[in-house]
Amino acid sequence: MNKLTVFSTESLSIALWQFNYGYIKDYINSLLLYEDIAFASVLVKNKEIVKKVRPGFKELLFSEFSTSSRFISKETAIIHNGVSVGVMRLVISRGRIRNLIISTSTLTILTLLLVNLTVFGTNYFLSNWYLFKPLAKLEGSVKEISSGKLDSPIDVSGNDEIGQLAQSFKHMMDNIKNITASRDELNHEIQERKQAVNLIKAALKEKEVLFKEIHHRVKNNMQIIQSLLSLQSNKIFDPKHKKPLIDSNNRIKSMALIHEILYRSDNMAVLDIQTYFNEIVQHLFRIYREPGCNVAFNLDIDTVQMGMDMSIACGLILNELVSNALKYAFISDSKGDLFISLKTISANEVLMTVKDNGPGLPTDLDLNTSDSLGLKIVKILVAGQLKGNVKVKNDKGALFEICFPFSIG
C-alpha cells in the first residue's frame, strides 16, 4: 500500500503540475487492473477531477471505505517541487488477502498433521519390527525355560544385537544342560555365563542408545515443525490470525519437551514430572507474560511415574490452563500468583490442580458448551486420554481440578 501510493504520487505530481488530466485518468484506470484495488481518485482543491470505483462498490463513498474493516484506505498529498498540487485517495480490499491467509493456514495444519502421522508411523513400525517382536519371542522362550522346559527352542535367526543376545542365551542354556561334576568344567561354564551376562548388558546399553536416538530425532522433527510454524506466523501481521499458529507452536513444544527430557535423562524409564512441568511453565512465561507484570508460580508435584501418553496429556492440559491464566488473569503492571500441583489422593487416583488469583472466570462459563479451543482441548484430553473428570470453580480466582486414575508408566 505504502509503496503504491508513493509511486503513484510521484507519477501524478508532474501531470497535475502540467494539467495533463488525460494522463491522470489513464493512470487511475490502470490502477484498477490490480484486483485488490477497489477505489482510486485524485482531488484538486477538494474537488474530484478523476475517480474510478470497482463494480460492486460504486454506491460507497470514500468515507464509508475508510470506516469499514473490509478495506484499507489511504489519503496522500501529491507534492511537486514542495508545493501541494492535489490529493490522491486509494482503497484496497482485504478480501483476497484474508482468503489467502485462511487457505495458507489450512494447508499448514494439514501438512503438520501429515508430518506427525508419518513420524509416529515410521517410529512405531521400526520399533515394532526391529525391537519389540524379537524381544517378545525371546521373552517367551525365557518364560518357558524358567518354568523348567530347558529344551524349549530359542529363535536365533536375527542378525542384529537382539539376535546376538538370543544366540548367547541359547549357548548359555546348552552349557547349563551339559554341566558335569568336573571342577574345571564347572569353572568353564561359570566363565561362559559371565560372558553371556556381559553380552546382555552390552545389548541393553545399545538399546538405551537407540531409545535416546529415537527421542532425539523425534525432538528434532518437532523443532522443525515449530520452526515452520514460527516462520509462517512471522509472515502474518493480523494478531487474530497469528494467535492460532502461536498456540499450536506451544502445544507442539509441550509434547517435544518430553522427548527432550528423556533424551537428557540417565534413566529412560522414568520421566521427571517436576522438571517437565517446570519447563512448560517457564516456556509459557517467556511467551505470554505481559511486560511489567509480576507473576510468580508455585509447583507442588508428588513423585509420580507416569507413562509417556499420560505425561503428554498432562503437559498439554497444563499448557492450555497456564496459557489462559497468563493471557487473561493477569494484566500489565499487576502482581499475581499461579499455583500448580499434582498429588496422589489415593492408591489409584491423582489430582492435578491449576489455580490463579486473578479476577476469576465468567459466572456463566460451561465447559461443555464453551467455544474456547483451549478448554475444548482440556475437556477432550481429560475424558479421552486420562479417563478422568475436570471441575471448574471460582475461588479467589480461577481454579481447575482434574482427577484421573493413576497407572504406573
What SS3 string covers 60-90? Answer: CCHHHHHHCCCEEEEEEEEEECCEEEEEEEE
How many beta carbons lie within 10 A of that of residue 377, not counting itself? 16
Q: Per the structure block, which three cell numbers stand in for 342?
A: 499434582
Q: How far is Cα 17 from Cα 180, in angstroms, rounded to an integer? A: 116
Name the CA radius of gyration of the chain, rounded. Answer: 34
Strand partners, 402: 352, 390
Q: Are 40 and 26 in contact (CB under 8 A)?
A: no
Look at domain 270-409 and name its CATH class: alpha beta
Q: How far is Cα 149 from Cα 135, in angstroms, rounded to an integer? A: 19
How many beta carbons lie within 10 A of that of residue 148, not counting itself? 7
Q: Are 395 and 355 in contact (CB under 8 A)?
A: yes
Phi and psi at residue 284, to the nearest 5°? -65, -35
Give the list of residues 6+ apart from residue 315 with CB closer than 8 angstroms, or none.
254, 255, 257, 258, 276, 277, 280
Q: Which of 270, 281, 289 has its CA nearest to residue 327? A: 289
Question: pLDDT tens digits for 83-115?
Answer: 888 998 888 888 777 777 888 888 888 888 898
DSSP state, residue 34 = S
- Stretches in the chain below the pLDDT threshold 50: 409
Give the list of residues 6+ apart from residue 312 with CB closer than 8 angstroms, or none.
254, 255, 258, 385
Direct distance between the N- and C-terminal alpha carbons of the chain, in angstroms, rounded to an integer: 57
pTM: 0.44
Q: For position 270, what pLDDT does the model report?
A: 63
Q: How far is Cα 37 from Cα 51, in angstroms, rounded to an integer? A: 13
Give the list of residues 6+ apart from residue 321 with CB closer than 8 angstroms, or none.
354, 374, 378, 400
Phi and psi at residue 151, to the nearest 5°? -95, 10
Q: How far is Cα 253 from Cα 269, in angstroms, rounded to an integer? A: 21
Q: How far is Cα 61 from Cα 11, in angstroms, rounded to an integer? A: 25
Query: Which alpha helices (DSSP H) does 45-158 contain, by range?
Result: 62-67, 95-127, 133-146
Report domain extents, the chain: 2-93, 95-265, 270-409
Burial string for 180-214 (b: 16+ CB within 10 Å, else e) reads eeeeeeeeebeebeeebeebeeebeeebeeebbeb
Query: What CA–CA distances, in Å, run from 317 to 34, 82, 244, 379?
Result: 47, 61, 16, 9
Q: Per the structure block, which three cell numbers stand in for 236?
A: 502474518
Q: For position 409, what pLDDT does the model report?
A: 46
How many beta carbons lie within 10 A of that of residue 7, not counting itself? 10
